[in-house]
Amino acid sequence: MCCVSDLFQCESLLQVVVAVVAGGAVLYFGLFHKASMPAIPFELKPPAESQPGWKSGEILDQPSIFAEGRPDLIQCFDPATGRSLGQVPATTVEQLNDKLKRARQAQKSWALTTFEQRRQVLRTLNEFVLKHQREICQVACRDSGKTLIDATLGEVLTTNAKLQWTIKNGENALKDDSRDPGFMMMYKRAKVIYQPRGVVAALVSWNYPFHNTVGPVISALFSGNAIVVKASEHVAWSMAYWEQMVKRALNVCGHDPELVQFVTGFADIGSALTMSPLVDHITFIGSPEVGKLVMKSASANLTPVTLELGGKDCAIVFADADMSQCIPVLMRGVIQNASQNCIGIERILVQEGAYDKFVAEMERRIKAVRLGAVLDDGDAGVDCGAMVLSNCFGRLESLIADAVSKGARCLVGGHPYVHPRHPCGQYFEPTLLVDVTPDMDIT
């Protein structure tokens, strides 16, 4: 009987141990283990115009974003060829307000989602970008005239890096953060709690249409916000593809695609967006001059503003530098995206002992840079693409002329370039200006 009793006691103890272990496992996984929600694949056909060799559009003699007699339309064209990509309707103020209201409504439920649900949307978008990076690069090339390598580095790689960083670190960056209240308030506790703002706006520049457009969307969505993106009218053609991509990612994950809204238009729609009381935060990427106008408009409602403005980035080369490594890096920094780069190298300061040799090598390399339309000419024969804005050519020539008049030497380039195969493309000769001093306008 004692043996039987001991047996029952052992079995009871074993059951208790199993129950405790099982309960502990459930508690651990419930509190600490975050189940990963996988990416959901989807497909989206890129526009036909993005295919290499596409030539169905007419060549515009004097390409311009303004459609003659139609202020409600934006004329789209490939800067590398001058070939028309069709016309896109400019968003009206009434349409803008409607989009803001729809985004506001969608944000109410989105603000209640978990970080893991938001990560799933970003994983889904990230998988699409990785799988379709060639198509994305071609769309960006067609709308902005850049090369495929510039699109790979500046559009896809950067966007993918931001997606992966946000997926990995976003939750930690937004978690509650305790603060020391200090001696005088030792009886209190303090912490920073991050909450969604509501509807945010992003007014983005034309130099990287995919990255500049999707980058603010990534941050807005992960932080629980809705977003309205106003893309530059100079790259309005590709916006429909980017918008469909983001909306599809939201939709397949079971969320309201109205959370993200895109608008296209001229300065009037930008002003209406920055002055709107329906906007809770504004991000602007562009020039200091326009940045000041954005801040002024936003001040009417005390809307917070984040500005990313242009600069005058400089590289410094010392005499003991390894030129075999240094010069190729500088060339990439100078010619990437036809120098239409927020952090592109615009000035190089060279130590006197290396100056002459450095200048001679840069002159040789810059003279060898080949301009062209990568989707028409092939990637192998093109080092540098076209420029999105042709109306800046006069300003560039003026700056170069001023520098030369004050003692600088223009060793290469200095003028617009008429491409033999693409005479209506928007090209400027790769230019090397040396002996520049601080009193010149170009500095």
- What residues act catalytically? 308, 342
Query: What do you get for the CA distance between the two ends of the chain, in Å?
Result: 100
317 pairs with which residues across the strands? 350
Show the tokens assigned to 116.
């893991």
Sign, CA dihedral 278-284-286-290, equals positive
CB-based burial of residue 139 (10 Å sphere; 0-12 exposed, 13-18 middle, 19+ buried)?
A: buried
d(CA 10, CA 429): 88
258 pairs with which residues across the strands? none
Q: Taking a C-beta distance cutoff of 8 angstroms, is the pair 270, 101 a contact?
A: no
Q: What is the DSSP letter of 434?
A: E
Following DSSP, what letter does each residue of 63-128 receive, concatenated? Answer: --SBPTT-TTEEEEE-TTT-BEEEEEEPPPHHHHHHHHHHHHHHHHHHTTS-HHHHHHHHHHHHHH
Q: How many CB atoms lie within 10 A of CB 373?
A: 26
Q: Taking a C-beta distance cutoff of 8 angstroms, is the pair 295, 282 a contact?
A: no
Residues 6+ apart with CB under 8 A from 5: none
